[in-house]
Structure 1
Amino acid sequence: MSKKLYDLVAKVMNVQSSTINDESGPESIENWTSFKGYVLLYELETEFKVKFTINEAMDVKKIADIKRHLKNHGAILND
């Protein structure tokens, strides 16, 4: 799942997926704007068939947070 998640983040943020890891986030990805954050949220919900709460969306500081929320929604993570 990490590769799938990293590839999705890379696509939305327009960066190489090899630069993405669990510690990546708005502070370390220059292209991560608030708009792209919303696009990423939409793409995540569509790809993993989940619905994030506003609190979950506001809680994302890095990729590890996204993974945690996906797991909480029952997404199967094959790390």
Structure 2
Amino acid sequence: MTNANDKLKLLLTDIFMMEEELYLDENGPEQIEGWDSLATVSMAVALQQEFGHHMTIEEVSEIHTIGDIKEYLRSKGVEL
């Protein structure tokens, strides 16, 4: 069975069309070319589908890095 971190990595590399090497906590739109506003919306929808947590507009606006995404999921009880 795939753990939550592996699922998140697969989800983000697909949505942001990025290489796995860019899956680092400190990386965000400045480092990841495919991370634009449309990808951000797609990410929020995919996180809800995969992990069952709806992101508010405020929560989405606080996401600036992969680490922020992980912290959000941890705050919702997802073990990464």
TM-score bracket for the superposition, by shorter chain length:
0.7 to 0.9
Partner in structure 1 of residue 49 of structure 2: 46
Q: Which runs of 5+ in 2 are unaligned?
A: none
**Identity rate, percent:** 32
Structure 1 distance, partners of 2:20, 2:50, is 17
Aligned match for 1:73, one of 69, 76, 80: 76
Runs of 4+ with deviation above 6 angstroms: none
Q: Which runs of 5+ in 1 are unaligned?
A: none
Give the alignment of 1:1-79 within 5 angstroms.
1-77=4-80
CA RMSD of aligned residues (A): 1.2
Residue-pair matches, total: 77
TM-score (norm 2): 0.85
TM-score (norm 1): 0.86
